[in-house]
Structure 1
Amino acid sequence: MIDTATKALLRTVLDEVCEAVPRCEIGARTRVASKLLETASRGDISADRLKLAARNALSEVPTM
């Protein structure tokens, strides 16, 4: 289970990495959030690792 401090960190990283992604781009934001949760659930909760995982997930989002 993810504690409150980690949840706050995940939210911060999501907002930071997706800053330029419009809120209506739900698919992209969901992909990043999913990757963040996956990374954190493995116990990898350093801010740098989470940001790297989030940026990688964002770069893999298909564009039209």
Structure 2
Amino acid sequence: MFDAETTAILRAVLDEVCVSVSRYETSARTYVASKLLEAAMAGDTSVANLKHVGRTALGEAPAMWR
């Protein structure tokens, strides 16, 4: 789907954005990851924009997911 560099960027952004979210809170992390993937598939692969998308998604995630 994505090249190795883009995949690495997506993982790094997900980890950074979700640093305060437990790895076991899969619902919130999955939601953020899906929004990051949507942005990347639309061609937006800059780190700054992906971080913004991820933080926005984390803010939108229901509180019970976090």
Q: Same fold (TM over 0.5)?
A: yes
- TM-score, normalised relative to structure 2: 0.93
Residue matched to 2:57: 57
In structure 2, the gaps of 5 or more residues are: none
Task: Note the 1:1-64 alignment, pairs <5 A.
Answer: 1-64=1-64
Task: Name the CA distance, whole Å, in 2 between partners of 1:46 and 1:33.
Answer: 15
Task: Name the CA distance, whole Å, in 2 between partners of 1:38 and 1:2.
Answer: 12
Runs of 4+ that moved beyond 6 A = none
Q: Which letter maps to 1:15?
A: D
In structure 1, the gaps of 5 or more residues are: none
Aligned residue-pair number: 64
Compute the displacement of 1:59 (Å): 0.2
Compute the displacement of 1:30 (Å): 0.1
